[in-house]
Amino acid sequence: MAKVQDIALYVRSKGAGPFWVTIEVFFDNDEAYETFKNSQKVTKGTIAKLYGVEEALVKEFYIDNIRVGKFSFPRRHPAGWEYENDMHSGQQYIRLAEAEV
Amino acid sequence: MNSCKILMPTGGLGAGILQEAFDRGMALKPDVIAVDAGSTDSGPAYLANGMSKYARQASKHDLRITTIGAMTAGIPLFIGSCGTCGTDNMVDYYAEIVEEIFREEGFQGKIAKIYCQQSPDVLKQKWDEGKIHALDGAPDITRETFDECSNIVAVLGAEPFIEAYNQGANIVLAGRATDTAIMAALPLHKGCDVAAAWHGAKTVECGAQCADKSDGLGVFLTVDETGFYVKPLMPDAHCTPYTVSAHMLYENSDPHRLREPSGTLIARDAVYTQFDEQTTYVTGSKFEHATQYTMKLEGAAIMGYQNISLVGIANRKVLADPEKWIANISAHVDRYIKRAGINKEDYSFNFKAYGYNAVVEGPVPEGTPPPREIGMLLTVTAKTQELATQVAKIFNPYLLHFPADFNEQLPSFAFPFSPVDCPRGATYAFKLFHVVDVEDPLELVRIAYVDIDGREEK
């Protein structure tokens, strides 16, 4: 099965303020973008499971004109908490990149 | 037609401005130089301590280029979020550097210092009046949270910059401000399209991130009554409809909406057009004015003190299942810590196996081969620095020798440092993700003006 990283141009994540993470998946062709957008394997529920957040708190966006899918969700701990593993959340895209699409 | 030209020479003051790029921007005759110096991205320590993440020398380098540019051209310089966190002492710190530059260069002019740090008492009163509201994802707080924070700032909108400009300030040094307010202020004041001012400001707030070469150098923004134009300063970079619209996503939880103190930018229906080879022109964004002006609050508190120990492990048996080793050593040593009479409420600890799953936590995907080596980081947190260090010292012999299997000879792992443990000071947390209702954009803001004549010394 193809993974998100196999069909995406690139995947990135970043903190959106200290309390949120946002992940963006960029595509360079319509076919791959539509596959991702319509995939039943990449949903708010997938994000909730991968990142340990409540599904109701996950926001999902598709920006068709630039072929980008985007998910945002609250961090489990605010940035910089005592056992922080990724201050800027810049490496957290990996789980989504490795998920099946 | 009203228009306003803004030079934004770097994504972060102190990160480094290139003189050549800056000069290219100045040649386009800006009405204002606007720079953001702040961020919460690097964590709560900067706010809790009221300190900058950049070196003084690096901050002065960028302040010198921008101050000389502004004073020579006779245009204002707007700096927001002085010293990373925008506390009052950081505004004073930048003012001290700018004063030095005035004296070194023989400039005469007016500096505005805009303060937005808040006393817990003022906020507790706002709390009692029901004027403090949680944002989505905010931690639960009580009235006491305001006292627990070492520092609290209320994030400035565009209005205080406009006020300082109207008072004739040459250099405006502001406390914590929204990234966008710094750039949006002058076009708003000059009667440009409100949505274009905010959307243009959001586009340039990270410098050349909105261009196809994200070299950290600046961009030039022109806002008028119909929309905004954005181009990078360096000739080999380009702002395209793709790069500009994609930047609306960046570090923003909602790509279509951006909340500001005075309302919300709605960029959903924006139209992006290539204007010339380097420039993109944007129209069609909207701004929804809020009925209630709000300022976001940022607050950080000390949560304890830490000690860290790092040990390198290449032992095959440990690497076959690092999680199991972590669970075993944790349980084993925790018994000794308790036997030593240390109260379990007074400390905690955490292992991170760098090279295995320290960065992307949790189980590694099935079939992942064991790493060749890992850096095992032990972090101890305690009520006091002394206690954190004592707990780390109890761990020390086990970090050296704890085996994967007690039936074998004791291994010795690889320490890089002596002493092994390293007291690293306080650990902090962001405690607020809230907004406060204000009667007036300046209600919680204080502005001081200083006239400096550096000519005598010259």
The tens digit of pLDDT for each residue in B439-453 reads 999 999 999 999 999
Proportion of chain B above pLDDT 70, given as a percent: 99
State the pLDDT at residue B206: 85
Q: Which of A26, A65, A82 faces B427 most closely, judged by CB atoms?
A: A82
Q: Residue B455 — pLDDT band, cuts 50, 70, 90?
A: confident
State the pLDDT at residue B176: 98
Q: What mean pLDDT comes out for the span B20-40?
A: 96
Q: B254 and A61 in contact by Cβ < 8 A? A: yes
Q: Which of B43, B139, B242 faces A80 most closely, judged by CB atoms?
A: B43
Question: Would you say residue B214 has pLDDT above 70?
Answer: no
Q: By the 8 A CB rule, do B224 and B196 touch?
A: yes
Give the contacts of B106 (CB within 8 A, at least 6 positions apart).
B454, B455, B457, B458
Side chain identity at B124, as an amino acid letter?
A: K
pLDDT in tens, B278-322: 999 999 999 999 999 999 999 999 999 999 999 999 999 999 999
Residues of A in contact with B246 (CB under 8 A): 26, 66, 68
Distance of alpha carbon B93 from alpha carbon B99, whole angstroms: 10
Kindly calculate the radius of gyration of chain B based on its CA atoms and give it in whole angstroms.
Answer: 26
Q: A19 and B138 in contact by Cβ < 8 A? A: yes
Residues of B in contact with A75 (CB under 8 A): 137
Q: A78 and B303 in contact by Cβ < 8 A? A: no
Chain A nearest-CA distance from B311, in A, is 17
Q: Which residue of A has its CA nearest to B46?
A: A80
Tokens read off for B59: 């901050």
Q: Which of A19, A72, A91 faces B359 most closely, judged by CB atoms?
A: A91
Q: Which of A65, A68, A78 faces B139 most closely, judged by CB atoms?
A: A78
- From chain A residues 47-76, the ones with a CB under 8 A of any chain B CB are 57, 59, 61, 63, 65-66, 68, 70, 72, 74-75
Distance of alpha carbon B263 from alpha carbon B354, whole angstroms: 44
Single out the residue of B156, B195, B196 nearest to residue B178, CA to CA: B156
Question: Would you say residue B208 has pLDDT above 90?
Answer: no
Q: What mean pLDDT comes out for the span A49-66?
A: 96
Single out the residue of A81, A95, A90 nearest to residue A16, CA to CA: A90
The answer to whether B350 faces chain A, any CB pair under 8 Å, is yes
Question: Would you say residue B397 has pLDDT above 60?
Answer: yes
Question: Would you say residue B458 has pLDDT above 60?
Answer: no
Residues of B in contact with A24 (CB under 8 A): 249
The answer to whether A78 faces chain B, any CB pair under 8 Å, is yes
Q: Which residue of A has its CA nearest to B135?
A: A19
User: Can you tell me whether residue B328 is helix, strand or coil?
Assistant: helix
Single out the residue of B211, B232, B210 nearest to residue B20, CA to CA: B232
Distance of alpha carbon B415 from alpha carbon B170, whole angstroms: 54
Residue A37, φ and ψ in degrees, nearest 5: -60, -40
Question: Would you say residue B182 has pLDDT above 60?
Answer: yes
Considering the domain B300-431 in this protein, what is its CATH number? 3.30.70.600
Question: Would you say residue B66 has pLDDT above 90?
Answer: yes
Q: B255 and A63 in contact by Cβ < 8 A? A: yes
Backbone dihedral region of B18: left (phi > 0), alpha (psi from -120 to 50 degrees) or beta?
beta
Distance of alpha carbon B342 from alpha carbon A86, whole angstroms: 30
Cα dihedral sign for B25, B27, B32, B33?
positive
Torsion of CA B11, B15, B18, B24, to 10 degrees: 20
Single out the residue of A65, A66, A58, A46 nearest to residue A22, CA to CA: A58
Distance of alpha carbon A91 from alpha carbon A93, whole angstroms: 6
State the pLDDT at residue B219: 95
Chain B nearest-CA distance from A44, in A, is 14
Q: Which of A80, A88, A92 faces B430 most closely, judged by CB atoms?
A: A80
Torsion of CA B364, B370, B371, B372, to 10 degrees: 180
CA–CA distances in Å: residue B315 to residues B353, B376, B402: 13, 12, 11
Q: What mean pLDDT comes out for the span B259-282?
A: 96
Residue B445, φ and ψ in degrees, nearest 5: -115, 140
State the pLDDT at residue B249: 86
CA–CA distances in Å: residue B115 to residues B45, B89, B176, B445: 20, 9, 8, 6
Substitution target from B214, B253, B433 for chain A, most A beta carbons within 10 A: B253
Q: Residue B216 — pLDDT band, cuts 50, 70, 90?
A: low
Q: B360 and A22 in contact by Cβ < 8 A? A: no
Backbone dihedral region of B210: left (phi > 0), alpha (psi from -120 to 50 degrees) or beta?
alpha
State the pLDDT at residue B215: 66
Stated pTM of the model: 0.95
Q: By the 8 A CB rule, do B43 and B69 touch?
A: no
What are the extents of the domains in chain B? 4-116+155-293+438-457, 300-431
Tokens read off for B190: 């000059």
Q: What is the mean pLDDT of chain B?
A: 96
Q: What mean pLDDT comes out for the span B173-181?
A: 97
CA–CA distances in Å: residue B255 to residues A23, B264, B266, B270, B287: 11, 12, 9, 12, 14
Query: pLDDT: is B346 or B363 the higher one?
Result: B346
User: Can you tell me whether residue B327 is helix, strand or coil?
Assistant: helix
ipTM score = 0.94
Distance of alpha carbon B75 from alpha carbon B311, whole angstroms: 55
Side chain identity at A24, as an amino acid letter?
A: E
The answer to whether A22 faces chain B, any CB pair under 8 Å, is yes
User: Can you tell me whether residue B417 is helix, strand or coil?
Assistant: coil
Q: Residue B408 — pLDDT band, cuts 50, 70, 90?
A: confident
Q: Helices in B56-150 by DSSP H: which ranges?
A: 56-73, 88-105, 120-128, 145-148
Residues of B in contact with A61 (CB under 8 A): 254-256
Q: Residue B374 — pLDDT band, cuts 50, 70, 90?
A: very high
